[in-house]
């Protein structure tokens, strides 16, 4: 097995030099600079069997945080906005939510407090609103919501806000035999419901916290229904544990953006062999958002030696796909 993929990569490696003079720029939305150069250099060296930085095909595994790395997570991530809308829609049946956190915060619509909710609260919201239905039904609800809602600032569907430079990076890696996984902090099922349509990435490449399911018979047919329990939480032990659970190895390329990603970045950086650790800096107040102070502090922490920062302001010509840079609000 896997031999077809390997053959295709070999074919690709053989044909690429022939087309070298006409090869289009693989990262057209990236400005020349340290970030772009370190990516191109790493991809070239890790594909070259003669290089000491060569990485065997099986080990070419990359992990990308989703919210804040592949699309914006300000003012609040789409998964959280979705959960909030669902809580509000179901208040009639749950008057007790008016007096209990995190529902109280959600109902009172304090945007700043919403943005501070942690993963545990988010999972609690998702649980409260979606127990007892199947993943297929949940997926339909999510897709209906995505079709009917727009980002409050960019006034486009959330699914149209994937960063174009990140699409190019994912395509570059795939062309070199890498398998890229997406870490969904806002719940695996939310992202799996649209990841294939939006990214062309199969569902099993989405990893992270999940809600447990139960095997039940419904109308004489076996179904998996969403339970009121979270499968596991990475809050204490961090994202590295979750990556190991799904992939069985340290990634060789990893990219995150905020303090909650430090643990998986440190773990990847401590691995043997060549690797690339990227951290996206939300430093473009005009075209996007500034990261909150906590993330700015984290990003200059002691463990960050050798990590490559990617600046939205300096490294990206264009933010979103197929459009000119977004104008000021």
Task: Check residue 222 for interaction with a second copy (CB under 8 A).
Answer: yes
Task: Check residue 201 for interaction with a second copy (CB under 8 A).
Answer: yes
Residues of this chain, 253-292, that bind a second copy according to CB under 8 A: 263, 266-267, 270
Give least dist CB 247 to a second copy, A.
Answer: 5
Task: Check residue 180 for interaction with a second copy (CB under 8 A).
Answer: yes
CA pair distance 60, 219, nearest whole angstrom: 44
Residues of this chain, 116-175, that bind a second copy according to CB under 8 A: 135, 170-171, 174-175
Task: Check residue 202 for interaction with a second copy (CB under 8 A).
Answer: yes
CA pair distance 115, 303, nearest whole angstrom: 26
226 versus 282: smaller Cβ distance to a second copy: 226
Give least dist CB 100 to a second copy, A.
Answer: 28
Task: Check residue 188 for interaction with a second copy (CB under 8 A).
Answer: yes
Reported as half-sphere exposure (CB side, CA atoms, 13 A), residue 307 has a value of: 30
Q: Is 75 exposed, middle or buried (0-12, 13-18, 19+ CB in 10 A)?
A: middle
Q: Rounded to an integer, what is the distance from CA 86 to the centroid of its chain?
A: 22
Task: Check residue 232 for interaction with a second copy (CB under 8 A).
Answer: yes
CA pair distance 174, 47, nearest whole angstrom: 12
Tell me the window of 85-93, 97-105, 195-203, 288-296 that interacts with a second copy (CB under 8 A).
195-203
Q: Which of 27, 35, 39, 61 binds a second copy (CB under 8 A)?
A: 61
Site string for a second copy, 235-254 (x = CB under 8 A): --xx-xx--xxxxxx-----
Do residues 61 and 181 lie in contact, with contact meaning Cβ atoms separated by under 8 Å? yes
Task: Check residue 189 for interaction with a second copy (CB under 8 A).
Answer: yes
For residue 207, give both structure tokens.
Answer: 């990893």
Q: Is 129 exposed, middle or buried (0-12, 13-18, 19+ CB in 10 A)?
A: buried
Which residues have C-beta within 8 Å of that of residue 59, sequence separation ≥ 6?
A: 249, 252, 273
Do residues 140 and 133 lie in contact, with contact meaning Cβ atoms separated by under 8 Å? no
90 versus 203: smaller Cβ distance to a second copy: 203
Give least dist CB 2 to a second copy, A.
Answer: 5
11 versus 34: smaller Cβ distance to a second copy: 11
Task: Check residue 1 for interaction with a second copy (CB under 8 A).
Answer: yes
Please name every residue paired with 309 in a beta bridge, in sequence order, or none if there are none.
Answer: 279
Give least dist CB 126 to a second copy, A.
Answer: 15
Task: Check residue 224 for interaction with a second copy (CB under 8 A).
Answer: yes
Can you list the positions of beta strands (E) in the chain?
Answer: 61-65, 179-183, 206-207, 210-218, 221-232, 253-256, 276-281, 308-311
CA pair distance 114, 121, nearest whole angstrom: 10
**End-to-end alpha-carbon separation of the chain, Å?**
52
Do residues 267 and 79 lie in contact, with contact meaning Cβ atoms separated by under 8 Å? no
Task: Check residue 32 for interaction with a second copy (CB under 8 A).
Answer: no
Site string for a second copy, 62-101 (x = CB under 8 A): ----------------------------------------
Give least dist CB 182 to a second copy, A.
Answer: 10
Report the interface residues with a second copy, using CB under 8 A: 1-5, 8, 11-12, 58, 61, 135, 170-171, 174-175, 179-181, 188-189, 192, 196, 199-204, 206, 210, 212-215, 221-224, 231-232, 237-238, 240-241, 244-249, 263, 266-267, 270
């Amino acid at each position: 097995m896997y031999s077809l993929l390997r053959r295709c990569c070999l074919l690709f490696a053989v044909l690429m030099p022939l087309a070298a003079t006409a090869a289009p720029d693989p990262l057209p939305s990236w400005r020349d600079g340290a970030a772009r150069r370190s990516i191109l250099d790493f991809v070239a060296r890790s594909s070259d069997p003669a290089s000491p930085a060569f990485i065997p095909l099986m080990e070419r595994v990359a992990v990308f945080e989703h919210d804040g790395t592949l699309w914006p997570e300000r003012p609040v991530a789409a998964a959280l906005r979705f959960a909030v809308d669902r809580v509000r829609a179901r208040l009639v049946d749950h008057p007790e939510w008016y007096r209990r956190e995190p529902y109280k915060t959600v109902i009172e619509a304090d945007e700043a407090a919403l943005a501070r909710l942690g993963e545990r609260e988010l999972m609690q919201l998702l649980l409260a609103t979606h127990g007892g239905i199947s993943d297929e039904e949940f997926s339909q609800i999510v897709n209906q919501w995505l079709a009917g809602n727009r980002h409050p600032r960019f006034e486009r569907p959330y699914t149209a806000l994937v960063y174009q430079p990140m699409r190019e990076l994912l395509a570059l890696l795939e062309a070199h035999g890498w398998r890229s996984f997406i870490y969904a902090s806002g719940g695996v099922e939310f992202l799996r419901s649209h990841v294939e349509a939006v990214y062309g990435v199969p569902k099993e490449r989405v990893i992270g916290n999940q809600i447990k399911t139960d095997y039940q018979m419904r109308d004489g047919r076996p179904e998996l229904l969403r339970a009121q329990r979270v499968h596991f939480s990475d809050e204490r032990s961090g994202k590295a544990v979750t990556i190991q659970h799904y992939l069985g190895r340290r990634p060789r390329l990893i990219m995150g953006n905020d303090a909650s990603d430090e643990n998986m970045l440190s773990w990847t950086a401590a691995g043997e062999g060549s690797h690339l650790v990227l951290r996206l800096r939300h430093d473009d107040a005009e075209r996007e958002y500034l990261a909150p102070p906590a993330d700015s502090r984290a990003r200059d922490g002691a463990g960050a030696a050798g990590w490559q920062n990617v600046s939205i302001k300096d490294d990206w010509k264009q933010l979103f796909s197929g459009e000119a840079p977004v104008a000021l609000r």
